[in-house]
């Protein structure tokens, strides 16, 4: 099986998934999109309202911010792979629960294994702490302490940045994120 077939197989499983309670509320499973051969794997928290309606990650206001950040380092969203820790929207955009993250991790772990990126870009606290726990045996870090810093162990690199939703009404945060993106560009060039 090639990479595209492998990822499709996992996506088909996710589309029928009832592992956690969130299947009851979803309109669409938001599995992931973009370039499965990219060096960069962007990882958000969970789908929002727009994402749930369209089945596409980061297609709402936060997605527009993310696209501006991509442009700032001459990237397009189709150049990278994008997904979230949870594939179904939690009601009223509440935070993901521990058991939902555990149950959904099957899909995320498979995506990381198949895409095999050089850098996992963690968008916000939830994705940062999932990846730190999984690959680095570390937990409970704040994004404010680690954003813009490369963390590397056993060939795995992660790069935390703020969740783009923080920058929607906060131009100062957007400027911080632009600086972090410049550092990210330095890592992959
Ligand atoms: S959030 Fe994940 S584990 Fe829960 S139903 Fe959706 S795909 Fe399955």
* H, E, C per residue of the chain: CCHHHHHHHHHHHHHCCCCCHHHHCCCCCCCCEECCCCCEEEEECCCCHHHHHHCCCCCCHHHHHHHHHHHHCCCCHHHCEEEECCCCCCHHHCCCCHHHHHHHHHHHHHHHHHHCCCEEEEECHHHHHHHHHHHHCCCCCCHHHHCCCCEEECCEEEEEECCHHHHCCCHHHHHHHHHHHHHHHHHHC
- Under CATH, what is the fold of the domain 3-188? Uracil-DNA Glycosylase, subunit E (3.40.470)
pLDDT at 49 over 90: yes
Is the distance from CB of 143 to CB of 128 less than 8 angstroms? yes
Q: Which of 30-39, 85-94, 128-137 has the lowest mean pLDDT?
A: 128-137
Q: Please tell me the residue having the least CA distance from ligand 1 atom 6.
A: 88
Is the pTM higher than 0.75? The answer reads: yes
pLDDT at 188 over 90: no
pLDDT at 189 over 80: no
Q: Please tell me the residue having the least CA distance from ligand 1 atom 2.
A: 104
pLDDT at 141 over 90: no
The residue to mutate among 16, 23, 27, having the most atoms of ligand 1 within 8 angstroms of its beta carbon, is 23
pLDDT at 154 over 80: no
Query: Ligand 1 pocket by C-beta < 6 Å: which residues?
Result: 14, 17-20, 22-23, 29, 86-88, 100, 103-104
Long-range contacts of 5-14 (CB under 8 A, 24+ apart): 6/114, 7/32, 7/36, 7/111, 7/114, 7/115, 10/107, 10/110, 10/111, 10/114, 13/107, 14/87, 14/107
pLDDT at 88 over 90: yes
pLDDT at 21 over 80: yes
pLDDT band at residue 135 under the 50/70/90 scheme? confident
Q: What is the mean pLDDT of the chain?
A: 95
> What pLDDT score was predicted for residue 115?
97
């Amino acid at each position: 099986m090639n990479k595209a077939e492998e990822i499709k197989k996992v996506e088909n499983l996710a589309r029928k998934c009832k592992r956690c309670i969130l299947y009851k509320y979803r309109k669409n499973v938001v599995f992931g999109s973009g370039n499965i051969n990219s060096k960069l794997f962007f990882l958000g928290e969970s789908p929002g309202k727009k994402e749930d309606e369209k089945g596409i990650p980061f297609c709402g206001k936060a997605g527009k911010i993310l696209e501006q950040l991509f442009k700032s380092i001459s990237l397009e969203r189709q150049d990278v792979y994008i997904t979230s820790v949870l594939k179904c929207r939690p009601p009223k955009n509440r935070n993901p629960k521990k058991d939902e993250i555990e149950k959904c991790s099957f899909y995320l772990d498979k995506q990381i294994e198949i895409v095999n990126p050089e850098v996992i870009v963690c968008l916000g606290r939830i994705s940062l702490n999932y990846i730190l726990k999984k690959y680095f045996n570390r937990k409970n870090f704040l994004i404010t302490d680690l954003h813009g810093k490369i963390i590397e162990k056993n060939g795995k690199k992660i790069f935390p940045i703020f969740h783009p939703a923080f920058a929607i009404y906060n131009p100062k945060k957007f400027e911080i994120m632009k600086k972090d993106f410049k550092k990210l560009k330095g890592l992959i060039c």
